Structures are given as C-alpha cells and as structure tokens.
Structure 1
Amino acid sequence: MNETADKLFAQIPSVEVAGGHILKGTRGDRYIWGIVVLLALISLLVVYSATGSLAYKMYQGNNEVYLFRQLSFIVLGFVVIYFLHRINYTLYSRISLILYLISVPLLIYTLFFGAEINDGSRWIKLPVINMTIQTSDFARLALFMYLSRQLSRKQEVIKDFKKAFIPLIVPVFITCGLIMPANLSNALLTGATSILLLFIGRVSVKHILLVIAIALIPILLIIGVAVSTHNANTENKAANNSLAQSMQSVGRFGTWVSRVQSFMYAEEQEIPYQVQQSNIAIANGGILFGLGPGNSRQRNFLPQAYNDFIYAIIIEEYGLLGGAFVMFIYLIFLFRCIRVFRRCPYAFGAFLALGLSFTLVIQAVANMAVNVNIVPVTGVTLPLISMGGSSFLFTCASIGIVLSVARNLEQMEGRQMAAAAKANEQVV
C-alpha cells in the first residue's frame, strides 16, 4: 500500500509559477502534503456551496465572491506552509520564549480592547488591511512551541514538582486563563492538548491529575449553576431568564450556562436554532451519498454554515459516508504525525510535531461533535475546511512547522543512509 501511494504522489505535477515550480524543494511527509491538498479541495467545494446564497444576497448576484476569497486564503496558506517547512525546526525552539512572551500581552489587550464579534472579545483589528485576527490561535501556537522546548530541556528532572512541573504548568494556566473569559471552548481544548502533551512528555501522573482536578472546578461550577437555575415550570421561566441575563454581566458566564442548559434539557425546552438546523441538515444527508455537491437546503437557514457548522453541510451534501471520510482524513493526518514523532531522535522536534497535530485533530473532533449535537455549541472551526481567516492561516503555520520537523528528519535519514552506503563501499 505504501509503495502504491508513493507512486501516486510521485506522479503529482508541480505547479508552475513565474517560470519556476512552486513545489520545487518541498520535502517532508508526502502523505501530509497530500492531506493538506485534499482538505483544501474539500474546503473550496463546501465553502462555495455554503456561501452561494449569502454571496448572491450580499453582492447582488455575484455568487463567486466567497469562492475566490477562500481560494486566496488557500494560496496564502500554502505559501505559509512552504516557507515555514523550509526553516530548520530548531529555530522554533530558539524563538519559542519570545513568541510566548508576545502572546501574553496580546491576549490581555484582546481581553480588554479587542473587537467584539458575536458577544465575544476574541479578535484584534489590524490597521490598514482592516483584517481581524483571533489572538488565541497565535497564543496556542506559541504555547505548544514553548512547552515542547521546556519538555525537551527538563527530561532529566521531569518528575520533580518544582524544577519541572511548575515551569511547565504555569504558562498553560496563564494562556488558558486569558483565553477563557472570551472563548471557553478554545481554552478547554488548549488545556486538554497541553495535558496530553505533558503526559506524553513523562510528567508525573499525580501532578497531571491535580491539574485536571483544578480545571474541573469552573466546568462543574457552570454545570451546577445550569442545573440549579433550570426549572421546567413555565411560571419560573421569566425568573430564570432574568437570572441568566444578570450573569451576562460577568463576561460570557451567562452564555455558557444557557448553552449547557440547552444541551442538558433539550427535551424540556426549545432546542437552539442552529442545533435544529444542523440536525435537519444531517437528516437530509442520509447514510450514503447525501443530496449531492451544491444541493444543500439548510445553508440558507443554518447560521455559520460556512464556518462553525460546515461539517453539517458536508454530511447533508455527501451523506454520512462523506462525513466519515473527512474524519478518516484527520485520523490519517494524526497517524502520520505520530509516525514523525516516533522517528524523530530529538525531543523538541518530536514534542512539537505531536503537540501541533494533537491540537488540530482535537479541534476537528470538537467541531464534528458540536455539529452532530454530542457536546454543547462552541465557536470552534473545522481546520483547513471552514472558510478562511486568521484561524486558517495559523492552522497552515502549524502544519508548516510539523512538515519542517519531517523535512529535517528526512534529510538526516538521507545523510545516514549515504554514510552507511559509503562505509559499505569502503569495506568492500
């Protein structure tokens, strides 16, 4: 199977740009390159379908506006992947502390002065180009680079609480604590990936369990408030609504409580509109082939059909088989990244590849779980498929760094094979 796949990838022609080959010099895991290309193609198809009616309404019949916008982000994303994968990954170790120290004030600035969109202050607006950037994506990337560096440097004292655990966990708490007020789901995903990386990095299990216990406190608090304030009695609904509204003044606590209540008591109260439309879209898709490309019905009713709920559109148009295929692609990506982790002889590169791949796959699983109503609604996008933005570009940056590790590993193995062949010639 591997030989067949290698032959297929070898037959893929490079893309000529300005008399050269844009893919000339690309190295690393060719399966990961192929997965990125495949997800980008899926993104073009689904985003074009999900935004067709919106583009027609917003731009007076020009249905291709968002298609070309997504195409431009994909091209820019591939440029990011290409240049980052050409950099020796050891450079990321050297700059990881600087990037992390930059991310903390950025998160603080976003928390107090960020652009508020959909009741959350998660973005900062760049002047001149008038583009918004979600600083939590940059902070997450910087955190995993810094954690990988620290884990590689502290392996000899990794079980020590003061020498290893405290320096490792403090950055995680700072980053997640600054992300949480505006984006609880992103903070939880970042924390979960960090804990998983610490576990793989041989941090003491009892220390990890302590972190999990502390992290469960706000989650249990939200669930407790949601249960205590919920009352199926119609007479008390007004009081419950006023209580929820008063909680809105404390960041987004009221939003979290209402989402948990909507998820826990779906049979007793009205299901959120986006969940209803997502369920309808999935039901329309059926088991096999769905309604077909471009034939989605719920794209006109489903909020964020091109972003947070794009997986429901995939199932509607391509059926459960199409949805399972997309999930399979992400699992193959994780498998290839684990392979890079196992082959890499240097701890920093191994932890870096694994940490960045885990966060992307966990984010993809979280998005799919929201779309099929397994977990409460969150604002998590589907990596490389949801409509482009800063999140798309930071995802490409993460993949570029993973490919940098794979590229340098490939070069090192090539030098070792050449040295071994030369040694054999000398013996003969």
Structure 2
Amino acid sequence: MKHIFQHIKGDRAIWAIVAILAIFSFMPVYSASTNLVYVVGNGSTLGHLVKHIVLLIFGFAIIYGTHKIPYRYFSGGSVLMLPVVIILLLFTMSQGTTIGGANASRWLRIPFVGMGFQTSTLAGLVVMAYVARYLAKNKEKQIDFKESFINLWLPIGAVLILILPANFSTTAIIFSMILMLCFIGGYPLKYLGYILGIGLIGLTFFVLVAKAFPNAMPHRVNTWQSRIENFWKGEAKEDYQVEKAKIAIATGGVTGKGPGKSVQKNFLPQSSSDFIYAIIVEEYGLAGASIVIFIYFLLMFRILVAARKATTIFATLLVIGVGFPIIFQAIINMAVAVNLFPVTGQTLPLISSGGTSIWMTCFALGMILSVSASKNETEETIMDDNPLDILHETLD
C-alpha cells in the first residue's frame, strides 16, 4: 500500500473524496438498477453493479494517467483537440444513436465495445482548457473585442451550436462556466455583456427556426418548453419523473428507509442516473442527503485550494474551468431531484451510473491533480508550448 501511495501525487484530499464518492455509489446504483432489471427487463442488478464498478476502476485509471501528464500539455492540447471535437460533434449529430431512451444525437456508439459516448462532455473539457489558455496568454495585454471574437468566441460558438440541438442543459452549463471563467480571468465586463447578448439572440433565433421547421429537430424545443412550463405552473399536473422523485424524498424522512429499501426506484425512470439523488434521500434520509452535499462542497473547497496554490495563471484558470462544472453539475442534479430546477438530464458526478459522465469527470479531476502535483513553472513556459511540438513529443 505504501508503494502505491508513492506513485500518487497531488492533493490527497481530492483523491480521498473521489474514493469516498465512488465507494458510496455502489449501494445506490445497485439498489436503483432494479428498475432497469424488473421494469425495463435489462440485465441483472449484480450485472449493473459490476459494470458500474468496472467503469469506476477505469475512471481511477484515467485519473492516475492524466495526473501524470504535465499540466502545461493541456494548453497546447486544447488547440489540437478543438477541431477534433468539432468533427466528433458533427459526426455524432449525423450518426448518433439512442441509448436508454436518450436523444439520438447525443450519443456516439463506440465500435466493438458496445458502449455509447456523449461527445458533449469531452467538448466541455476541451473548451474550458482552451479558454484558460487564451486568458492566460493575454493576461498582460489589452484585449481587443474583434480579435477575441475571432480567436476565442468563434471556436466556442461552433462547439456550442453543435451541442445545442440535442442538449440544451449541457450547452447552458458550458456557456455559464465559460462566462464565469472569463470574469475570473479578467476578460472585460463590457465585452462579456456583448457575448451574453449575442448568445441570447442566437438562442432565440434557434428556437424560432426550430418552431418554423419542426421536422428538422423533432420534439426538442417542445421538450424544453414543456419542462419549463411544468416547473413554473406548480399546481399543474406534475411531470411523472418529478412526481415520483418528490414521493421518494417525502417518504425518506430524517434517517431514510435503509439501503436497498426504496420503493420509488421501481417506478422512477432513470433512477440510477438522472434521479439517483431522490433514491439516496429515500434510502438514507435527510442525514445521508446532507452528507452527500457536504462531500461535494468539500470537493469544491479542495478545488479552490488547488487553484490558490497553482503557480501560473493558466494552471489556476484550468483548475477552476474543469473543476467548477463538476460541482455545478452536482448542484443541478440535486436541485432537479428536489424540484428546485426543471428537469435537465444531468447526472450526479461519480455517483450516477454511466460511463461517459464518470470518465470525463475523472479526466477533469486528473487535470486538477496534475496541477496540484506540479512543481514551480513559469507562465512563459506554459504559453511557449507549440501544439505541433506537443504532438511531436506525443508521437515520439
């Protein structure tokens, strides 16, 4: 065991928090998978648990491998990966598949593996690293809006436009996190106002086009509209998922019904992924739910510590850019389960089942740990990295 710890670098508290969340996820996933087994008729509960454990093991391997990469490589790597991500998103839109009822254009089937990959999650990480690189590179310069629009916002806009038709919530999260990162990175507030206005106009235009040509993107805008309307009406007929989640939470009480004793898991769709927090509240009560919230906020604190200790501006922005979306996604998932937000389809990081979510979260955590494990570096070293040089080093 001591030999293993010698190879683990970075913030040990983050390693411990990730391990705690992963181990805790075993029982909720095992319990909630009965819906997939007995209602949907998909596999066995033990099979779903084993699959989840295997995904987490690979996830820890991703964290370990990523945290061994010098974080400066993520700067040039984001430039190399941006066109790759755009191509993947285009391919996903045309060749996507349906997995567990999810929208066809969200997922890309991986050949010979039998698994789906949600390309928007990878796109989010690449975009945040790209934004961090741009802000760090221009830290001492007076930013020109035209130049930044071409070099920063046009690539970002291309990515968001390709994600939007199938996944509005992910698009909104990525865009919000980009605005937050730009604010922290010193991007002029006046220009951020311009970008926010352009984004709202673009979204309005997209909705109008989707309404005018409903066959192009069937049901997507109507789905967003119905979710928002159901949320704001309050007394109107509840969405089935929200109704079952509220029943699960109401019957959980302070201490819960006990592990594996949830009743609503048999009726709640996506009980092992999007609405797993409702199952946690039902089985572990207010006490268990509060502990989960505390762990995520502890993770946020350690992310802030890693950002504070970073030795370069790029490292600080990278940690915030890839770390805060994890916490934000967790807050949204839990808020949806308790009916504070409309249904979004966001999973609970490291607890919900699902390979893409687990692996991309682990990739982000590996990047954070790479920063916290790094020795002192200068900003010039980071920014002088040529993407072609990084590609050459990788090939060598």
- Provide TM-score, normalisation by structure 2: 0.88
- Which residue of structure 2 lines up, in the alignment, with residue 305 of structure 1? 271
- C-alpha distance 147-247 of structure 1, shift in aligned 2 (>3 A): same
**Which residue of structure 2 aligns with residue 314 of structure 1?**
280
Greater Rg over alpha carbons, structure = 1
Counterpart of 1:146, as a letter, is Y
Residue 188 of structure 2 corresponds to residue 204 of structure 1: yes
Matches within 5 A, 1:14-53: 21-52=3-34
User: Any conservation in 2 of the 1:158–1:203 contact (CA below 8 Å)?
Assistant: no
- Over 3 Å counting, the alpha-carbon distance change for 1:71 and 1:30 in structure 2 is same
**What is the rounded CA distance, in whole Å, between the counterparts of 1:405 and 1:392 in structure 2?**
20
Query: Could you tell me which amino acid in structure 2 is paired with residue 379 of structure 1?
Result: G
- Counting only pairs closer than 5 Å after superposition, residues 123-134 of structure 1 correspond to structure 2 as 123-134=107-118
Residue in structure 2 matched with residue 408 of structure 1 by the alignment: 374
1:156 paired residue number: 140
Contact persistence 2:33–2:272 (CA under 8 A): yes
Residue in structure 2 matching 1:122, options 99, 106, 125: 106
2:151 matched residue in structure 1: 167
Give percent identity, aligned residues only.
40
CA contact (8 A) 2:11 2:372 kept: yes
How far apart are the structure 2 equivalents of 1:304 and 1:204?
A: 41
Higher relative contact order (CA 8 A, sep 6+): 2
Q: 1:361 is matched with which residue?
A: 327
SS at match of 1:99: helix
* Partner secondary structure for residue 376 of structure 1: coil
> Residues 116-172 of structure 1: CA distance to partner in whole angstroms, max 9, x if unpaired?
343341011111112110000111111111111111111122543133454222222
1:77 aligned onto 2:45: no
Tell me, yes or no, if the aligned pair for 2:36 and 2:42 is still in contact at 8 Å. no
Partner of 1:426: none
Cα distance in structure 1, aligned partners of 2:327 and 2:355: 18
What is the DSSP-based 3-state SS (H/G/I as helix, E as strand, rest coil) of the residue aligned with 1:155?
coil
Which of 82, 86, 107 is the aligned partner of 1:100? 82
Larger displacement relative to structure 2 (21-30 or 276-285): 21-30
Q: CA deviation at 1:370?
A: 1.0
Quickly say closer, same or farther: Cα 1:311–1:223, change in 2 above 3 A: farther
3-state SS in 1 of match to 2:109: strand
Q: Distance in 2 between the 1:202 and 1:176 partners?
A: 22
How many angstroms apart in 2 are the aligned matches of 1:224 and 1:97? 33
Unaligned 5+ segments in structure 2 are: 378-396
Hey, what's the Cα distance between the residues in 2 that align with 1:207 and 1:373?
34
Q: Which residue of 1 aligns with 2:161?
A: 177
Does structure 2 conserve the Cα–Cα contact (< 8 Å) formed by 1:248 and 1:255? no
AA matched with 1:267 = E
Where does the alignment leave 5 or more consecutive residues of structure 1 unmatched?
1-12, 15-20, 226-242, 413-428
Please say if residues 35 and 269 of structure 2, whose CA atoms lie closer than 8 Å, have aligned partners that are also in contact: no
Counterpart position of 2:223: 255
Q: Residue 147 of structure 1: SS of its match in structure 2?
A: helix
Structure 2 residue corresponding to 1:352, chosen from 312, 318, 339 = 318
Alpha carbons 1:247, 1:254 under 8 Å: kept: no
TM-score norm. by structure 1 comes to: 0.81
Deviation string 1:395-428 (CA, Å, 9 cap, x unpaired) is 111101110000114x77xxxxxxxxxxxxxxxx
2:390 maps to what in 1? none
1:81 to partner: Cα distance: 0.4
Aligned residues: 374
Q: Deviations over 1:265-298 (max 9, x none)?
A: 2313x21100100000110112x21111111110
Q: Secondary structure at the match of 2:140?
A: helix
CA RMSD, Structure 1 to Structure 2 (Å): 2.5
